[in-house]
């Protein structure tokens, strides 16, 4: 054990105090990790220069990390998040999705994005 750690924990009177102190330390690390994932979710933006479907799949991996951290997102929220984060070049697609009032499943949205990608990159 590192000297500074040993010194700080040697001042604890019993194993419970050491355990509680370590628990607090790792809880803070876990909360920092959750905050990082949440910030990444909110700051996520899609780029015009790349095909959209691979970017969306990366975004869905981020959503899965939220789910793994017990912060699940309802599919409609994920669909809305994807549509709202589309780049300017996807404004027509964005408008089309809003006309549907985002009443679309995640699977259907992925299919629509796949078709749109194929049209754009032919």
Q: Which two tokens stand for residue 122?
A: 């032919």
Contact 62, 78 (CB under 8 A): no
Please, what is the average pLDDT of the chain? Answer: 83
Q: Which two tokens stand for residue 36?
A: 């990082």
In this structure, how many other beta carbons lie within 10 angstroms of the beta carbon of residue 107?
Answer: 10
Q: Which two tokens stand for residue 112?
A: 């629509």
Contact 94, 48 (CB under 8 A): no
Across 104-108, average pLDDT: 93
Q: Does residue 63 carry a pLDDT above 90? A: yes
Q: pLDDT over 90 for what percent of the chain?
A: 48
Read off the pLDDT of residues 8-20 as tens digits, 9 standing for 90 and up.
556 666 777 766 6
At residue 116, the 3 state secondary structure works out as helix
Read off the pLDDT of residues 81-101 as tens digits, 9 standing for 90 and up.
999 999 999 999 999 888 877
Read off the pLDDT of residues 20-37 as tens digits, 9 standing for 90 and up.
666 665 555 555 688 888
Q: Does residue 70 carry a pLDDT above 60? A: yes
Report the distance separating Cα 94 and Cα 1, nearest Å.
55
Q: Does residue 102 carry a pLDDT above 70? A: no
Identify the burial level of 18 via C-beta atoms within 10 angstroms of its C-beta, where 0-12 means exposed, 13-18 middle and 19 or more buried. middle
């Amino acid at each position: 054990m590192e000297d500074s750690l040993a010194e700080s924990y040697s001042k604890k009177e019993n194993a419970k105090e050491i355990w509680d102190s370590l628990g607090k330390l790792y809880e803070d690390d876990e909360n920092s990790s959750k905050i990082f994932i949440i910030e990444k979710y909110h700051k996520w933006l899609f780029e015009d220069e790349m095909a959209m479907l691979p970017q969306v799949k990366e975004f869905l991996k981020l959503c899965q990390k939220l789910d793994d951290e017990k912060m699940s997102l309802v599919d409609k929220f994920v669909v809305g998040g994807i549509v709202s984060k589309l780049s300017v070049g996807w404004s027509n697609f964005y408008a089309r999705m809003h006309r549907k009032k985002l009443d679309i499943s995640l699977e259907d949205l992925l299919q629509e994005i796949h078709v749109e990608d194929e049209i754009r990159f032919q």
